[in-house]
Amino acid sequence: LPIDWSLEGTARRRDTYYAASQKKFVPFAEPMIFRRGSMQYLWDEAGRKYVDLLGMNVCVSVGHSHPVVVKAAAEQAAELTHCTTMFYHPVPAHLAEELAATMPKGPKGDIEWVVHFTNSGSEAIDLAMVMARGYTGNLDLLALRNGYHGPTSAAQSVTGIAAFRHPGMPGNVAFVAEPNQYRGVFGPGTQPYLDEIERTIAVATTGRIAGMLVESVQGYGGIIEMPPGYMSGAAERVRAAGGLYIADEVQSGFGRTGDHMWGFEADGVIPDIVVMAKGIGNGFPLGAVVAQRQIAQPMAEKFMFHTYGANPTSCAAGRAVLQVLREERLQQNAKTVGGALLERLNDLRQRHPAIGDVRGRGLMLAIEMVRDRNSKEPDPETTAAVFEQCRESGLILSKSGPTRSTLRMVPPLCLSLADVDQVSEGLDRAFTKAR
């Protein structure tokens, strides 16, 4: 069938046929069409090249249209595109084994992990919530303010950013202040935020909870890292109240933080449930709940069937992603290249007073803009201006955080040191022009 690639035609069809809910999320002043991608680069419909610092929203972990992933998915799709879990298929079974092998075994080496595949991150979050409530017999959940867990009504109910919360969500969720080291309500440090968990359990729940959801690094919230001791301290307090510690690794997983495969490993905590998506499929729809065996067990009493969950095409892509991560040493690359980029962002902070904070690790980095470094008043206007200028310089980023004053960088993990030069020069020019 013919495709009309024009911006005008696409805009008209979107305006006419997309629901309001799907039209809203267009970040740039002028819309864009990307026609082609290869590794960390994108080309628009006019053939102009961009460095993708957004990784198509963290999904593209090992590179756009990575040939190994494309080949694996194409071969599987040609042989048997779809097969539900009603029938046995070795490809998802292999992927489950490979994912389980990436999880910590615990001090005694006896922790066993099991996998339930879904189609998306929010479905996996939803399933993790059902699992935690079922296993513990408790209803109340804790979640972090400034956290994002997805668009389904269950995932919205644990999302702590007002802009993503629509009316009519289910309840039984208490929110805890996020341990933001730059502008958190209790200032820098870990202990006050752990005390806040205890206080919240005492005053806003029945005292017995199903669990707590924590993004190991908050993504849409503007790259907020958990300070040392926070994740392990949170898990301790949650378990003391009968609950489970649920790590959301949808953005921070698959080597992105550079030091570890999973963001939670930075703190040595062993979660009860790990939720993953996005980077697992390099753009193919795939999510998973990876849980300690005994926690998933009570769900055997009822059916839980995701039609496309564990589909062999997405799972073939998932296996190829793990292979490429290993063969191309992309976690190490995230550490090296991310470290170099962070250094350059810190240099920019010296020169541009609009930059209040620079943070992150590996290839999960952010610049937060303020009107004044003392008052730390957020500056969404300068952020938007820099963002548009970056596009002019061929850089695609994202505006994040509750006031959209943070530029978030989560590129494909194959970003190179040469790209770092281009990115820092482009940002420097953008800040100079936007002033």
Strands of the sheet with 364-369, listed across from one edge: 355-361, 364-369, 406-409, 398-400
Residue with nearest beta carbon to ligand PMP: 121
Q: How far apart are CA 12 and CA 378, in angstroms?
A: 35
Task: Point out which span in 145-153, 171-179, 292-300, 342-350 binds ligand PMP (CB under 6 A).
Answer: 145-153
| 251 touches ligand PMP by CB under 6 A | yes
Q: Does 145 bind ligand PMP (CB under 6 A)?
A: no
How many Cα atoms sit within 13 Å of 294 on the Cβ side? 5
Among 125, 269, 325, 367, binds ligand PMP (CB under 6 A): 125
Residue 156 interacts with ligand PMP (CB under 6 A)?
no
Which H or E element spans position 239? Answer: helix 230-240
CB 223 within 8 A of CB 360: yes
Q: At its nearest, how many Å lie between ligand PMP and the CB of residue 121?
A: 2
According to the binding rule CB under 6 A, does residue 295 interact with ligand PMP?
Answer: no
> Could you say whether residue 121 binds ligand PMP (CB under 6 A)?
yes
**CA-closest candidate to residue 96, choices 113, 72, 79, 74:** 113
* Burial profile 246-276: b = 16 or more Cβ within 10 angstroms, e = fewer: bbbbbbbbbbbbbebbbbbbbbebbbbbbbb
Min. distance of Cβ 414 from ligand PMP in angstroms? 21
Q: Chain-centre distance of CA 242, in angstroms?
A: 27
Nearer to ligand PMP, 287 or 312 (CB): 287
Closest contact distance (angstroms) between CB of 221 and ligand PMP is 9
Cβ proximity to ligand PMP, 99 vs 250, nearer residue: 250
Beta strands in 192-350 (DSSP E): 209-215, 217-218, 224-225, 244-248, 273-276, 287-292
CB 378 within 8 A of CB 182: no
Element (H, E) at 131: helix 121-136
Least separation in angstroms between residue 159's CB and ligand PMP is: 9
Single out the segment in contact with ligand PMP by CB under 6 A; choices: 108-116, 146-154, 184-192, 229-237. 146-154
Regarding 148 and contact with ligand PMP (CB under 6 A), the answer is yes
Residues in the interface with ligand PMP (CB under 6 A) total 15
Spatial separation of the C-alpha atoms in residues 414 and 321, rounded to whole Å: 12
When the beta carbons of 123 and 379 are compared against ligand PMP, the nearer one is: 123
Binds ligand PMP (CB under 6 A): choice among 226, 250, 276, 289: 250
Q: Could you say whether residue 400 binds ligand PMP (CB under 6 A)?
A: no
Q: How far is the CB of 59 from ligand PMP (least distance, A)?
A: 8
The angle that helices 330-351 and 417-434 make with each other, rounded to 10 degrees, is 30
Tokens of residue 415, six digits? 């970003």
Nearest to 37 by CA among 81, 78, 69, 77: 69
277 makes contact with ligand PMP (CB under 6 A): yes
Mask for 209-248, x = binds ligand PMP (CB under 6 A):
------x---xx---------------------------x
Among 63, 92, 150, 263, binds ligand PMP (CB under 6 A): 150
Binding site for ligand PMP (CB under 6 A): 120-122, 125, 148-150, 215, 219-220, 248, 250-251, 277, 287
